[in-house]
Structure 1
Amino acid sequence: MSQRQNFVNNKYINSHSSSTFDLVDPSTGEIIGQSPNSNEQDVEEAYAAAEAATATWGRTTPAQRHAAMLKIANAMESRRDDLIEAQARNTGQPKYLIASEEMDVGIDQLRFFAGAARMLSGVPSGEYLEGFSSSLRREPIGVVGQITPWNYPFMMAVWKIGPALAAGNTIVLKPSDTTPDSTLLMAEIAAEFLPEGTFNVVLGNAETGAFISSSKVPGLVAITGSVKAGMAVAAAAAKNLTQVHLELGGKAPCVVFDDADLDAAATTLAETGFFNGGQDCTASTRILVQESVHDDFLAKLVEAAKATTYGTPEKDDILYGPLNNINQLERIEGIIERLPAHATIATGGKRADDMPGFFFKPTVVDGLHQDDEAIQNEIFGPVITVQTFSTEEDAVRMSNDVEYGLASSVWTKDHARALRVSRDLDFGCVWINCHIPLVAEMPHGGFKSSGYGKDLSRFGVEEYTRLKHVMSSMG
């Protein structure tokens, strides 16, 4: 059984901790290796390596960072198949979708961040006070701690390391305890082009994450994860007044008006709701449909759900694989078991018993009320809920009546209505007649309990910088 190691100072090293836990292939339920549960000494030694590396990587020019990051992207592209294999054994995701939706997209995003290293913005230098000249320095924060989730291990790591490296920071990253392999391989590949200590990976569970967040070394701690995990990071970091960057859960409302193309809406929302087993904080798992077209739309959505296929990683005719772990599978089962009497399971609603592993059938639940658990809480599984509304005002009110504020979509042929509703939706991203497309040039991040801070775009890079005003007397 393979024992994983931490990656610090451009090499694999053993953890100081004697605590370990099993790594499990979610498509089979079989144990495939063991991971260390790194302790505070491991984390602080990784931070020390990162702190030492600020004297080298932190002093590089934007052009030098740009060149190194392009080399890293090219090297990852050449090791694409190895990265796919590493991720598939941790996630059970279909390999063809890891290739197209994570590797190809993530490598392109890394190249964007490489270019963004040379495009940081600021105000012009000049005399804003008579007799004095002012300039603005946009500097790296220094050392950053990062925590990434298990739903898209490769791409979420790119969203963290890309802007951090572009801005000149050094990194200590903890991947999810269930999905370390592709992140470790990323660090191994990147080591050829980075000074020692620039990009370090420490393995472990939530306790290790607490050490990442509570250390006095980092100037910023960033996490993509659940609201609960984000609150824990913010609380731990607050003791040292450490900045935090939080990209947390979501409960995306998808508002389908009576003039929408119902076929396109049902097909797209089924795909984007069930993609990756619904394990996506922007997934289209909460649909609000206007009363007059509810029955027609529901029939189309159920038909699309029944046509949705799932299976093991090597298959290329499926939309999703297993849920990531047994706890997540049991959590989804619990939500379905607790559905109120007024809810109706239109299709699915149970574990897939025709194969081993942590599979759950594509599910559509109708008839839910606004205060029901399945409406108010993130499900993070292949479960789509359907509600009805009567007016535009009702749709906006119901959409906003959750603690989350990450993503949403509006489905209508009325352009003015699309503009009004997109203005009024309290979500960081609004898609019109589509759902989930992302581009590196545009920021991604939410409001309310979905956190604060932006990933992607030049704004995402600037989150990893600090501003310094330098003023000189001209006398």
Structure 2
Amino acid sequence: MATRTVPTSWINGRARVGAGPGFTLMNPATDRPISAMLLGEAADVDDAVASARIGQRDWGAAPPAERSAVLRTLARLLESRSGDLVDDEVAHSGRSVRLAAEFDIPGSIDHVDFYAGVARDLDGKASAEYSPDHTSSIRREPVGVIGSIAPWNYPLQMAMWKVMPALAAGCAVVLKPSELTPLTTLLLAELATEAGLPDGVLNVVVGTGAEVGAALAGHTDIDMVTFTGSTDVGRLVMSQAARHGRRVQLELGGKAPFVVFDDADLDAAVNGAVAGSLINAGQDCTAATRAIVAESLYDDFVAGVGEVMSRVSVGDPTDPSTDMGSLSSHPHRKKVAAMVDRAVAAGARLVTGGTAPDGPGCFYAPTLLADVTEDSEIYRDEVFGPVLTVSSFVDDDDAIRRANDTRYGLAASAWTRDVFRAQRASREIAAGCVWINDHIPIVNEMPHGGYKASGFGKDMSTYALDEYLTVKHVMSDITGVARKDWQRIVFADGAQRDGTVPDRATSAEGSPAEDAVTS
């Protein structure tokens, strides 16, 4: 892809250049520049929030069918530009073209279609007389202006998870994508305006977390902040939003256990472990990272995973035959490599990988580490790279204990042919998603979100829509009487008005008629 200059903000329905420092967007697979840009800064955030505040008034008041129609049109426009979206996603993230073309872009478009339907289904508790003297009803109203911060690992898809339920609910959004991967998000905003989304309802400001992210999370005129990223940064975002008492939704880190019981289909578990740990070069917070395997299957599992991993094709992400592309940046690859090196130095057995190939790009070999101890850094901390660790367990109790022995709780999987083991794992593993005999697939109809240090609140599904709606109870008197029976707990006998209007013609205080006679 040729180098080009791109705008770095979309504010009030128009592209504009940021007011901040210069930045060169790089292709992490080639180390070649893609575009030059001027990043946004706090002043751009102020403009975007002011635009969103104005735009949200009419959008929030629009009938659900009108919002739905705009989202349906947006989905079709995204389909018409899917080739451009794939090219940009591969170029600025280094992901394989198969991942972008068969998962990221189709899944993102389906996400828009899903919320086009959900926008017309704002259900609530039935209107009824829960009190004998009143009818109660529920209104579900948009939260208002949402500040959204999306990560670099799935640039378009993560932006969709934040933006689409908010738009369907009638909110306006100011979105900060990563400065490493902004291209598809900027195109999304442009196409949303073309689809008929009113100016100001979707704004994008590209900039650093320290500048734009902090300005957005702590903005006084934001009604809610939603963030996807690391747990440490998520806590910082939450503290910034808390200063103004703002609502927060967080999808944070993970350290997903991959539990293989002794009755599991070994071939299925081996294939699942490799696919689940290497998707997007392991830069996935739900990726399989900790294989916890029954002792009787341990050696065969390690040998099988090592053999399949060694055959994974790593290289040019634009080549359809490539299985795995590059990591996101050189600093990130350095961090992954350092964690692997420390693990080996501490006694982990390197089965395959553990190397960065020579040449340009941020590539790192698929890596399997066996005999990893529970107290090691590589077992406990998020690597966010193509690295799978393996340890063994003694019995089912030990397997569940090890699966839960983490501060995270985003996703997990259990591999077994025994329905009772599967049910126990789904009940007792503390994670927002537990897969049985698979690891990683998602569907827009089902929620995504974590336990513990993996955050709270949901992306995807109708549960995500709830994050962006407030619930209002409307209670209407149906008796028409002036004296309410419940008021006796406040008024003494006789203190209430009886509902009659004094006849001023006979009032002791006089009346207009009396005044006329006496005058």
Tell me the TM-score normalised to structure 1 length: 0.98
Higher RCO (CA-CA < 8 Å; seq separation 6+): 1
SS, match of residue 441 in structure 1: coil
Residue 11 (structure 1) aligned with residue 27 (structure 2): no
Residue 363 (structure 1) aligned with residue 395 (structure 2): no
In structure 2, how many angstroms separate the alpha carbons of the residues matched to 1:374 and 1:109? 34
Give the superposition deviation at 1:14: 2.2
Residue 282 (structure 1) aligned with residue 286 (structure 2): yes
Residue 195 (structure 1) aligned with residue 198 (structure 2): yes
Residue 344 (structure 1) aligned with residue 349 (structure 2): yes
Greater CA deviation, 333-342 or 103-112? 333-342
1:336 is matched by which residue type in structure 2? V
SS, match of residue 410 in structure 1: strand
Given that residues 408 and 427 in structure 1 are in contact (C-alpha distance below 8 angstroms), is that contact kept between their aligned partners in structure 2? yes
Choose the corresponding residue for 1:300, options 279, 300, 304: 304
Given that residues 274 and 319 in structure 1 are in contact (C-alpha distance below 8 angstroms), is that contact kept between their aligned partners in structure 2? no
In structure 2, how many angstroms separate the alpha carbons of the residues matched to 1:20 and 1:449? 35
Show CA shifts across 1:275-328 (max 9, x none): 110000011121000111111111101011001111122111122210001111
- Number of residue pairs aligned between Structure 1 and Structure 2: 473
Show CA shifts across 1:205-229 (max 9, x none): 1121011100011211101111112
Residue 393 (structure 1) aligned with residue 397 (structure 2): yes
Aligned residue runs from structure 1 range 217-228, under 5 A: 217-228=221-232
Q: Match of 2:209?
A: 206
Q: Match of 2:104?
A: 102
In structure 2, how many angstroms separate the alpha carbons of the residues matched to 1:228 and 1:176? 17
In structure 2, how many angstroms separate the alpha carbons of the residues matched to 1:452 and 1:35? 34
Given that residues 276 and 319 in structure 1 are in contact (C-alpha distance below 8 angstroms), is that contact kept between their aligned partners in structure 2? no
Choose the corresponding residue for 1:155, options 138, 154, 157: 157
Which runs of structure 1 show a deviation greater than 6 angstroms over 4 or more consecutive aligned residues?
Answer: none
Give the superposition deviation at 1:69: 0.2
Give the superposition deviation at 1:33: 2.2
2:64 is matched by which residue type in structure 1? P
In structure 2, how many angstroms separate the alpha carbons of the residues matched to 1:296 and 1:60? 59
Q: Match of 1:86?
A: 88
In structure 2, how many angstroms separate the alpha carbons of the residues matched to 1:417 and 1:117? 39
Show CA shifts across 1:11-32 (max 9, x none): 1112233x22221110011222
Aligned residue runs from structure 1 range 33-52, under 5 A: 33-52=35-54
Aligned residue runs from structure 1 range 53-452, under 5 A: 53-192=55-194, 193-207=196-210, 208-339=212-343, 340-353=345-358, 355-452=359-456
In structure 2, how many angstroms separate the alpha carbons of the residues matched to 1:310 and 1:385? 20
Give the superposition deviation at 1:3: 4.3
1:391 is matched by which residue type in structure 2? D
In structure 2, how many angstroms separate the alpha carbons of the residues matched to 1:4 and 1:404? 37
In structure 1, how many angstroms separate the alpha carbons of the residues matched to 2:298 and 2:161? 38
Give the superposition deviation at 1:423: 0.7
In structure 2, how many angstroms separate the alpha carbons of the residues matched to 1:222 and 1:249? 14
In structure 2, how many angstroms separate the alpha carbons of the residues matched to 1:343 and 1:312? 30
Give the superposition deviation at 1:120: 2.1
In structure 1, how many angstroms separate the alpha carbons of the residues matched to 2:357 and 2:13? 42
Given that residues 7 and 18 in structure 2 are in contact (C-alpha distance below 8 angstroms), is that contact kept between their aligned partners in structure 1? no
1:368 is matched by which residue type in structure 2? V
1:7 is matched by which residue type in structure 2? W
Given that residues 8 and 39 in structure 2 are in contact (C-alpha distance below 8 angstroms), is that contact kept between their aligned partners in structure 1? no
1:329 is matched by which residue type in structure 2? R
Give the superposition deviation at 1:233: 0.8
1:50 is matched by which residue type in structure 2? A
Given that residues 282 and 436 in structure 1 are in contact (C-alpha distance below 8 angstroms), is that contact kept between their aligned partners in structure 2? yes
Given that residues 19 and 39 in structure 2 are in contact (C-alpha distance below 8 angstroms), is that contact kept between their aligned partners in structure 1? no
Given that residues 120 and 458 in structure 1 are in contact (C-alpha distance below 8 angstroms), is that contact kept between their aligned partners in structure 2? no
In structure 2, how many angstroms separate the alpha carbons of the residues matched to 1:301 and 1:95? 24
In structure 1, how many angstroms separate the alpha carbons of the residues matched to 2:315 and 2:244? 46
Given that residues 17 and 37 in structure 2 are in contact (C-alpha distance below 8 angstroms), is that contact kept between their aligned partners in structure 1? no
2:286 is matched by which residue type in structure 1? T
In structure 1, how many angstroms separate the alpha carbons of the residues matched to 2:154 and 2:290? 21
In structure 1, how many angstroms separate the alpha carbons of the residues matched to 2:341 and 2:414? 30
Give the superposition deviation at 1:404: 0.4
Given that residues 120 and 462 in structure 1 are in contact (C-alpha distance below 8 angstroms), is that contact kept between their aligned partners in structure 2? no
Gap runs ≥5 in structure 2: 481-519
Given that residues 256 and 286 in structure 2 are in contact (C-alpha distance below 8 angstroms), is that contact kept between their aligned partners in structure 1? yes
Give the superposition deviation at 1:55: 1.9
Give the superposition deviation at 1:134: 1.4
Give the superposition deviation at 1:92: 1.4
In structure 2, how many angstroms separate the alpha carbons of the residues matched to 1:179 and 1:420? 40
In structure 2, how many angstroms separate the alpha carbons of the residues matched to 1:68 and 1:375? 46
In structure 1, how many angstroms separate the alpha carbons of the residues matched to 2:234 and 2:37? 23
In structure 1, how many angstroms separate the alpha carbons of the residues matched to 2:34 and 2:145? 33
Give the superposition deviation at 1:82: 1.0
Show CA shifts across 1:399-427 (max 9, x none): 11111000000001111011112111010
In structure 2, how many angstroms separate the alpha carbons of the residues matched to 1:201 and 1:248? 22
CA RMSD of aligned residues (A): 1.1
Percent identity between the two aligned chains? 44
In structure 1, how many angstroms separate the alpha carbons of the residues matched to 2:357 and 2:290? 22
2:347 is matched by which residue type in structure 1? H
In structure 2, how many angstroms separate the alpha carbons of the residues matched to 1:236 and 1:195? 29
In structure 1, how many angstroms separate the alpha carbons of the residues matched to 2:136 and 2:29? 59
Given that residues 15 and 42 in structure 1 are in contact (C-alpha distance below 8 angstroms), is that contact kept between their aligned partners in structure 2? yes
SS, match of residue 467 in structure 1: strand
1:464 is matched by which residue type in structure 2? Y
SS, match of residue 57 in structure 2: coil
**Greater Rg by CA:** 2
1:332 is matched by which residue type in structure 2? V
Give the superposition deviation at 1:259: 0.9
